[in-house]
Amino acid sequence: MANPAVVLTVDPVGPKYPISEQCEMPKITVTAQLQNVTPDPKVPLQYQWKVTLSFNGQGCAHATQRMIKHVDISQVTSTNKFQIPFTQVRGGGLTISVTVAVAATTLTASTKDLVVTATNPSVGSLAGAAAPNQTFRKLIRVESGLRQFLSDTCPLFSGDGYGGVGLCQLTSPAPTDDQIWSWKENVKGGWALYKQKEAVARAFPKSVRDGADFKALVKTYNEKRQAKLKAAAAAAKPDAGTAAPIPDLAIELPDYTDDQLERDTLRGFNGYAGLHEYRVKVDKDGVLVVTEDPSATKGKAEWEQVTKEERIKFYDQNNVPTNKRGDPNYVEDVESKAGF
Partner 1 sequence: MKPAARYGLAYTLLLAFALSLSGRCVLGQAATPGRFLYVIGCDARVDKLDTIAGRQVETYDLAKQTGKESLIPIVHGAFDSCLASQAVYDIKASMFFTAVPLSNEPKADGTKDYRVLTFSVPRMKLMKQESGGESLDAPPHLELQSERLKILKPSAWMPQTDLDLSAYSPDKAQTPNQILESSGDRVLLRLFTADDNQLVLAVADRKTQKLVRLQGVPTTVAPNVHIVPGGGHVLIEEIRTGEKPEKTGMLALFDGVTGKPQKELNDPHIRNLYFLAVSPTGRAVYHSSNNYWFVDLKMKFPPAPVSRPVSKGYPAFFFAGR
Residues near partner 1 (CB under 8 A) are 158, 160, 162-164, 171-174, 196, 199-200, 202-204, 206-207, 210-213, 215-217, 219-220, 223-224, 226-228, 230-232, 235, 268, 270-274, 284-287, 313-322, 324-326
Buried b (16+ CB within 10 A) or exposed e, 48-63: ebebbbbbebeebebb
Taking the C-alpha atoms of residue 45 and residue 253, their distance in angstroms, rounded to an integer, is: 78
Pick the closer one to partner 1 by CB: 107 or 142: 142
Q: Please, what is the minimum distance in Å from the beta carbon of residue 252 to partner 1?
A: 18
Question: Residues 152, 158, 162, 168: is their CA dihedral positive or negative?
Answer: negative
Pick the closer one to partner 1 by CB: 121 or 164: 164
Q: Please, what is the minimum distance in Å from the beta carbon of residue 155 to partner 1?
A: 16
187-188-192-198 Cα dihedral, nearest 10 degrees: 40
Cβ 117 vs Cβ 207: under 8 Å? no
Pick the closer one to partner 1 by CB: 121 or 299: 299
For 129, list phi and psi in degrees, rounded to 5.
Answer: -105, -30
Q: Please, what is the minimum distance in Å from the beta carbon of residue 79 to partner 1?
A: 48
Pick the closer one to partner 1 by CB: 47 or 315: 315
3-state helix, strand, coil in the chain (%, to 5): 30, 25, 45
Pick the closer one to partner 1 by CB: 190 or 268: 268
Taking the C-alpha atoms of residue 70 and residue 39, their distance in angstroms, rounded to an integer, is: 34
Stated length of the chain:
340
Taking the C-alpha atoms of residue 249 and residue 297, their distance in angstroms, rounded to an integer, is: 5
Q: Please, what is the minimum distance in Å from the beta carbon of residue 199 to partner 1?
A: 6
Q: Please, what is the minimum distance in Å from the beta carbon of residue 192 to partner 1?
A: 11
Q: Please, what is the minimum distance in Å from the beta carbon of residue 309 to partner 1?
A: 9
Pick the closer one to partner 1 by CB: 47 or 303: 303
Alpha-carbon distances of 177 from 44, 94, 160, 183, rounded to whole Å = 39, 16, 19, 11
Q: Please, what is the minimum distance in Å from the beta carbon of residue 196 to partner 1?
A: 6
Pick the closer one to partner 1 by CB: 75 or 307: 307
Distance of CA 198 to the CA centre of its chain: 14
